Each structure stands twice: as structure tokens, then as C-alpha cells.
Structure 1
Amino acid sequence: MSDFLSEYEAHVAAHGTPERIECMLCDMNGILRGKWIPAAAVDKLAGGHVRLPLSTYAPNILGEEVPESGLGIVVGDPDGRLVPVPGTLKPVPWTASPAVQVLVEMTELDGTSSPYSPREVLGAVLARYAARGWRPVVATELEFYVVQSRERPDTPPQPPEPNFAAQNYDLETLSQHDAMLTEILAACAAQGIDTDTLVAEYGPGQFEINFHHTDDVFAAAEMALIFRRLVREVVEDHGLEATFMAKPYADSPGNGMHAHVSVLDSRGDNVFSAPGGVGPTLGHAIAGVLATMPDCQAIFAPHLNSYRRFQPMSFAPCAPDWALDNRAAGVRVPATTGEGARLEHRIAGADVNPYLALAAILGGMLWGIDRETPLPPPCDSPDHAPPDRLTADWVTAVDRFAASDIAADIFGTRYRDAYAAVRRDEISKLTTQITRLEYRTYLTRL
């Protein structure tokens, strides 16, 4: 019996037979796509007989195929086989009828893994750590906004009532949304999402969830991925909307995904731990993340709106710099000794693909460790020479990624090129539209 069938039968024994199975495939944008199948077709799914087009891995944000990616109708749009990801079968607590969800990957029809899978990309980076006898330990933090329900998708967001312009760590805000937040946490518990703290963040209607650290990096990525879906579903049931858009309000902080990362050796010891400050391994890892950050910015900031977080006074770090326990830095180092020695990567928006963001961070760490890259002075040191800020221009970031040997090393040339093609297609679709602002400003004046 397959692991998936064993999981399914255990679920049925505990909760009864669901009406459907929701198969969820993570695309390049971090969007969950897939299909529903009846529970009676569980053997078909377990046997690899449920299919989707391989191009489902790489549509643009609008859901359209991108011929330049090398997928889609230009190559006949062939199918892949859906393969359930072990350990991801979970109940869906917000549905009216009983349902389960499971993450799936696609293989080629001959059973080989797809090079377009973001999970496979992360797996290739993790294999480099495993070859050293190392295990990364990761914990993510996700910020999101709750907004009033809108009738039109192009209506600007408005915070829920009542609200505070700056609600940072405000307990009254949590109390006002107690029913909704309690349901979010209950749904997390039902789906095995290991949450830590929940706080009201700075912006009006903004919240942050922290997940517990884990040495299952796939699980860390999947918690962030599934949490975004869960929050949107639960919040909608309360007559509101939730968004992980990087910058929903021009004058309020954006939504980030911070990642805390340490590394254990074969004995379970933290290789970053050193007495008396930042040790050589941690120093090289930080230096590697900083050196690779500009080339990987298109991963950490994938979309048009993402680059509003990199404007001056945007409330977010926007330079490849670091410091000890300083939240203004792109990389913060909360601890350098003991089990908690780690770096905190603070550049990525909440709109990222979590698999790809963690691959970029972990790949950058190894890049610095392998080359023994020297660590520059921290950004709050008098010896600090300010580096060039990360770009606020989407095209510049994508062009740099597309030409980057670093990106090819971390993601593979084929994936780098496909990713750049999808981003450039999104650029062509969105930046060629004439906005309401342009009509309001220019149409009757010029």
C-alpha cells in the first residue's frame, strides 16, 4: 500500500469518508492550482492516473501560459502525472461538505521528476546540504492584511472597522477580531500547521503569524503556502478579505515573509554557534546571502507591486546589509551562540513562492560558505560602507536574474530561464496597460 493510501485510510478511520479530494499543485508564482476529484477516485490518484498539463507549473500571474517558458501549446502542452506529496493530506475545515486536501507534484509520463517543480528546485539545494551531513532548520513569519470586502477587484482596499492607523502589537485589535483569528488558529491546528505567536502588526488591519522552527524545510515552505490559502478562506467566511500582496497601501508597511535559518551538523550541533560573536561559518553564510541577494531579488520580489517595498521610507529593509538584532537590516542576526544561533532574512515579500525563496536563501548561504566570502561590517558600525540599495525597478531585477550565473547555480539554468520568461511576460502584460492615474493626471491637461 502506498504512503498516500495509508494516510487516506487513517484519515477516513478518524474522520469518515470525505466527499472530495482537493489536489493542490504549487506553480511558479506560489499559486495553488489543481483539481477536485471524488473520494471514490483515491486509487486513481494513488496510482498516478490523474493528470494535469505540465504547463500548469509555469503560467503567468493571470493564469495564462507563456510560450517562452518552453511549456504550453508550443510543445503540444503534454500532460504530467500527479503524485501526492507524503504527509500533506489534511482536512479542509472551512468547507460545507467534508473534504480533504493534498499537495501534489507532477512527473513526466515516464515517471521522471519535472524540472519546473519549485519543490524539486528546493530539493536540489537541500541535497547539497545533505552531502555535507548538514540539515538546515527554518522558521518563517508571514504578514498579511485583512480588508473590507469589495464588490470589484480593482477597488482599492479599505481596513476593517474599527481600526488604528498604527496598531503595532495592540491587544485590543486582537480582541476585536477574536472570532476570526481564533478560527484561523483552529484551522491551522486541524491542518497540522505549527503556529507560534500571532500579533497585530503596524498597518491598519495587518497581522503577523510566526511558525515554529523545523528541520523539515519542505514543511516550512508548505506551512507558509497552505497558510495563505487557509487565511483567505477563513477571513472570507467572516465577510472580509485577506491579502498577502506585498504593498496594499502606499503609506503603510508592506507584507513580508521573514525566514530564520540555522544549520545542524550530523551530531545535531548548530554549525553557526561560536563564542564571542559571529563565527566564521555564520559569517560566510551571511556574506553569501548578501552577495547573492541582488541576483535573486526577482525571487524575493516577484511581481510589479513587490517593488513598492523597496522605495525610500517604505518600512522595509531594502539593501543587502546586516547587523546584530537590528530590524532595519536586510539580514538580522538575533543570536550567535547556542542552539538559537541563526540569521533572519528580511527582504522577501509575503507574495513570494516559499519554495523558491528558501532555495535562494539556503543557496546563497552555501555560496558564501563554499567561497569563504568575507563578512562586511554591520550596517550600524562606523566602519560600514553602504552597499548599493536593491533596485526598485522590476525590469532591472528580472534582467539581472536572467543573466545571473548565481541564479543558474542555485536554480539550474533551465529553471532560471523559464522563471525569467514568465516574469517578463507578466511585465509585458501589466506595464503596457494605461492606468486610471494616468487618465486622471494627463487626459484633460495635455
Structure 2
Amino acid sequence: MSSEFESFLTRHPDIVYVDGLFFDLCCVVRGKRYPVADARTLFDEGMQIPESIALLDVTGDCNDPLGRGFSDGDPDCIAAPIPGTLAPVPWGDVPSAQVMLTLRTQDGAPAMVDPRNILERVLGRLRADGLTATVAVELEFFLIDPERGPGQSPRPPVSPVTGRRDTRTQVYGMADLDDFQNVLRAVESACQAQGVPAFTASSEFAPGQFEINLKHVPDPLRAADHALLLRRVVEWVAERHGFEATFMSKPYPDQAGNGMHIHLSLTDADGRNLFDDGTEAGAPLLRHAVGGMRAAMAQSMAIFAPHANAYRRFAPNLYVPVNPSWGYNNRSVAFRVPASGGEARRIEHRVPGADANPYLVLAAILAAAHHGVTARLDPGPAATGNACETVDRALPWTWRRALEEMGRGAIVRDYLGDEYVDLYTATKWIEMEKFQAVIAPHEFAWYL
């Protein structure tokens, strides 16, 4: 990437620093900052960094999962720049740039602790069958007041226009977009500077909640990159405007949660949408893909909902999946086929929370779709009416059960690999045990 870097400096001669960054298992951005005079080393040789950095839990601890960490001497891997990801950082006080990294072993092979490489592994299975996935990600988030409420609870933001705390729940309401237009406009500008294809924003079902959509791209790796970069942009821009932004699945117990909706279609070598055959129902391949998503839902929940709070999001009659239902033009199902046909024929996977790892989410979803297509799975009848009223108790609705299901999940093991499934679940088991070791205030109030 040396030539890409030199060309970038010609266009941006004021750059002072270059950040090499990647996103770990818990979506925490990690890396190093280089003075621009020393950054050529990054593009020529990559960055030496401990391989265990990709397996840290959400608190930043290395818990030595399966002996990866202090037990094996914590060896380095190489973090290599990804072509096409070098971009300016428009929100900093000092002119800076960033480039995304992917982890490689010392001999140059993909390091299979990197979630991005796990997605690449799954894509290899699709490519072997002549399939390309076109993907778009929708992310919901809350703007919140930096000043916390009782017990460190979040509070809705104060409107910059009215000076009053936001209490409205007006889904698709334009007033919320108007009140926070300076933040949303700055997000749009930063996304343009960084090549992130964000194109619409809407207010959602709770005070201070918004959704930003990303355009469809025929490269799931880039789609996941875009989702993580969008999160980074939103968080930084919000802070610069006196707010905080959170993608936490369920920050308010009595309000809607934050989802990550994945829109997916499969195309052949000629770019033809294989989910569409000109009929109202769509092609059989679409239904087979849905069948795979239904079959893999239980064993993928530990990825879609990666921590204790994420399971609070699932409740009846909140337009959140509580069973493996599917249907046409129906937002109450887990796997929705939108009304659009032709080249826009697709499946919307509505299960993951907004704080899940997009690389792993897409890896699990594409693995499920490919499994369904190759096994020609029948999804059963499409749901009509309200499908999110009845909870399917066979699915894992707790963190512990989800980890158990993933640990024995044949589909995720086949596609993501035994090693990564074991590393992921080991990391999350330890994180869960640490979480449960903390006594919450209401335990004292109820039981002391």
C-alpha cells in the first residue's frame, strides 16, 4: 500500500498522524498512532501486535482463552493495512488519517482470531459455489445526555433547539431529525470523508433514538467495515456536539432497543439476483436461505446477542424477533422479505443487536444462508399477522443458554471453524462469569 499512502499524502499534505486500527471481538477499536513521518513503516511492513488483542473481553482483559495469551507467551501477529481503507479523520483537532488493519500470522496467512478473517472464511464457501452476497446494514443508536441519572442510568438528550429533554416517541417523526440536525449532518459529512456509504436517517421508537442506513454493496467485508466505521463516526461526532451515542442493545428497560438489521441477497457470476424469479413469492433459493437462517438461529444467538444486556431486547410485541418466523412485508418476523422485487429482492435478518460484531454477524448469517441453499431446506409456511406475540421457548433467551447452543452448534462450527467457536465461547464464558460476580444494587435492596 505504499503507493496508496504516497498518493494520499499528495492530496492531504497537512496530515500529522496516521492511525492504524482494527476492531476486536467486542467491537472495541484498537491499534497504534504513527507520526506521519514514521507511517511508511506501517504500509511497508505492517504492525507487530499481540495476537491475543483480538480476544480481549469487553472490559479489555486478556483472560487467556484456551491458553491464548500469557500461557503461550503472547506472541505477535502482523496487523496489515487493508487497501482502499485509508481515509482522513475529519473530527480531530489535529489533521489525521486512519487505515483499517487485518491480522496475519508471521508467515502471512490470515490470523483466525480476527473476526474479519472469519467472515472471509465463510465468503470462501460462497465463492466456491459461484455465489456473491450483496449486503446492507441498518444500525439503530441512542443519543444520550453525558450526565447520568440515578445508578449511572442513561438519560435522553436535551434538544439543542428547545432546550428541553427529549421525551418524544415519534417513529419517523421529522421533528427529532430537525432538533438534532447538526449532529446528523456532521455524521453525514464525516461518512462522506471516510467513504462510508450512509444515505438515510430516521427517528425511531424511543426518545433520542435514530437509525442510519448504509447502501448495499456486493462485498460483505466492506459492508461490515462500513458498519463499524459508522459506529466510530457517530460516537465521535456525538461527543463533539455535547452528547454521547450508544449502540447498547437495551439501554432503557421501558423503551425500544437498538437493532442491527441485515439486508441480504445472493447473486451469480453475472450479477443476477438469485432470490428473484419474477414471481410474487420469489425464487426457491430465497426460501432455502430462509430455511438455513431458521435452522442456525439458536446456535448463532451468542453472536447476535453477545452479552447479558442484549437479551433484554427480546420481548413480545416490540417488533423484535421472539421466534424463528419469516414472512413477506411483515416487520414482526425474524426474517422478513421486503415488498421490493426484481433486483431489490432480498431477505432482512432482524435478530442481531446493534452492539454485536458485524463481521461475526455477517459470517453467521451467510453461513446459515449457504447451508440452507446447499441443503435445500424448507422454511415452512410464511407467517401472516403479528408473529412477534409468542415467544419460542426452545430458543436460547439467556446468555448462558446461547453460549451452550453455540458450543454444540454444527453449522457455526462447520463454517466459522472449531477453533474460533471454542475461542469465542471461552472468551464470553469468562466475561459472563466476571459479570455475574458483580452484585447489582437491587440485589441488596431485595435480599439483604
Q: TM-score under structure 2 normalisation?
A: 0.94
Q: Secondary structure of 1:133's partner?
A: coil
Aligned to 1:284: 288
2:77 maps to 80
- Whichever residue aligns with residue 372 of structure 2, its letter is G
Superposed displacement of residue 381, structure 1: 7.3
SS at match of 1:375: coil
Q: Is 1:329 matched with 2:333? A: yes
Q: Which amino acid is the alignment partner of residue 425 of structure 1?
A: I
2:316 touches 2:391 (CA, 8 Å); kept in 1?
Answer: no
Q: Is the 8 Å Cα contact of residues 143 and 244 (structure 2) preserved in structure 1?
A: yes
Q: What residue number does 1:90 align with?
A: 87
| Structure 2 partner of 1:28 | 25
Are the counterparts in 2 of residues 83 and 105 from structure 1 also a CA contact under 8 Å? Answer: yes
CA deviation profile, 1:11-45 (whole Å, cap 9, x unmatched): 21112141111111211112211111111122211
Unaligned runs of 5+ in 2: 159-163
Match of 1:164 in 2: 167
Is 1:57 aligned to residue 54 of structure 2?
yes
In the alignment, structure 1 segments of 5+ residues that lack a partner are: none
**In structure 2, distance between residues paired with 1:414 and 1:17:** 44
Q: 1:69 to 1:196 in 2, by over 3 A?
A: farther
- 2:187 maps to 184
Give, in whole Å, the separation in 1 of the partners of 2:80 and 2:127: 24
Structure 1 vs Structure 2 CA RMSD: 2.0
In the TM superposition, what whole-angstrom CA distance separates every residue of 1:331-367 from its partner, at most 9, and x where no partner exists?
A: 1001474101110000000001100000111110011
Compute the displacement of 1:391 (Å): 2.6
Q: Which amino acid aligns with 1:233?
A: W
Q: Secondary structure at the match of 2:21?
A: strand
What one-letter code is carried by the residue in structure 2 that aligns with 1:421?
Answer: A
TM-superposed deviation, 1:48: 2.1
Distance across 1 between alignment mates of 2:170 and 2:345: 30
Q: Could you say which residue in structure 1 is the equivalent of 2:257?
A: 254
- 1:28-47 alignment, distance < 5 Å: 28-47=25-44
The 1:209–1:84 alpha-carbon spacing in structure 2 relative to 1, beyond 3 Å, is same
Secondary structure of 2:344's counterpart equals: coil
Change (3 A) 1:382 1:29: closer
Distance 1:111 1:428 in 2: 35
How far is 1:382 from its partner? 11
Distance 1:97 1:152, change over 3 A: farther
Deviation at 1:228, TM superposition (A): 0.7
Per-residue CA deviation, residues 281-329 of structure 1 (Å, 9 max, x unaligned), is 0010011011101110101001111010123455412211101011110
Moved beyond 3 Å, runs of 4+: 151-154, 311-315, 381-384
Q: Where do 1:346-385 residues align within 5 Å?
A: 346-380=350-384
Hey, what's the Cα distance between the residues in 1 that align with 2:84 and 2:242? Answer: 32
Task: Tell me how far 1:6 sits from its aligned partner.
Answer: 2.1
1:414 aligns with 2:419: yes
Aligned counterparts of 2:216 and 2:336: Cα–Cα separation in 1 = 17
Which of 420, 426, 437 is the aligned partner of 1:432? 437
Q: Does 1:403 align with 2:400?
A: no
Distance (Å, rounded) in 1 between the aligned partners of 2:147 and 2:66: 34
Cα distance in 1, alignment partners of residues 427 and 151 from structure 2: 23
Q: Distance in 2 between matches of 1:328 and 1:131?
A: 34
**Counterpart of 2:161?**
none
CA contact (8 A) 2:25 2:115 kept: yes
8 Å CA contact 1:263, 1:272 repeated in 2: yes
The answer to whether structure 1 residue 311 and structure 2 residue 310 are counterparts is no
1:179-258 matches, within 5 Å, as 179-258=182-261
- Secondary structure at the aligned position of 1:73 is classed as coil
The equivalent residue for 2:324 is 320
- SS of residue in 2 equivalent to 1:66: coil
1:340 to 344, 352, 369: 344
Q: State the one-letter code of the partner of 1:239.
A: G
TM-score (norm 1): 0.95
Q: CA deviation at 1:7?
A: 2.1
User: Partner amino acid for 1:72?
Assistant: G
Find the residue that maps to 2:401 and give its secondary structure: helix
Residue 6 of structure 1 aligns with which residue?
A: 3
Aligned-residue sequence identity (percent) comes to: 38
SS in 2 for 1:339: helix
Q: Is the 8 A contact 1:48 1:82 kept in 2?
A: no
Q: What is the alpha-carbon distance in structure 2 between the residues aligned to residue 31 and residue 79 of structure 1? A: 19
Aligned-pair CA distance for 1:154: 6.0
Partners of 1:34 and 1:383 in 2: CA distance: 43
Question: Which AA in structure 2 matches 1:438?
Answer: E
Q: Do 2:264 and 2:346's aligned partners in 1 also have CA atoms closer than 8 Å?
A: yes
Aligned amino acid, residue 282 of structure 1 = L
The answer as to whether partners of 1:335 and 1:342 remain within 8 angstroms in 2 is no
Contact persistence 2:78–2:105 (CA under 8 A): yes
Structure 1 residue 423 displacement after superposition? 0.8
